[in-house]
């Protein structure tokens, strides 16, 4: 059981904090990926996306072919 269940904190406040933490973690994750370069950061973002459009755009932007390391298979 979490303290949040017992603390009687408004769900809107909890949801706001979850969103703020999510944004902070995403920013840290992207900055860490950018340390490896823009291609790597873009690859990490696109490969974790559920969007076919994003994956296709990544492959097109970087001219990726199926035999290349950072090519993302689009199902």
| Per-residue pLDDT, 4 | 83
List per-residue pLDDT tens for the chain, 75 residues long: 788 888 888 899 999 999 999 999 999 999 999 999 999 999 999 999 999 999 999 999 999 999 999 999 998
- Please state the domain extents for the chain: 3-61
Provide the 10 A C-beta neighbour count for residue 43. 20
- pTM equals 0.80
User: Which pair of structure tokens corresponds to residue 25?
Assistant: 């973690």
Contact 22, 33 (CB under 8 A): no
Please, what is the Cα angle at 57 between 22 and 44, to 5 degrees?
Answer: 40
| Per-residue pLDDT, 6 | 83
| Per-residue pLDDT, 2 | 85
């Amino acid at each position: 059981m979490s303290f949040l269940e017992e603390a009687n904190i408004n769900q809107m406040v909890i949801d706001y904090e979850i969103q703020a933490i999510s944004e902070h973690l995403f920013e840290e994750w992207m900055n860490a990926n950018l340390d490896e370069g823009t291609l790597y950061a873009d690859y990490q973002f696109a490969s974790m996306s559920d969007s076919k459009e994003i994956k296709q755009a990544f492959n097109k932007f970087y001219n990726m072919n199926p035999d290349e390391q950072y090519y993302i298979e689009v199902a």
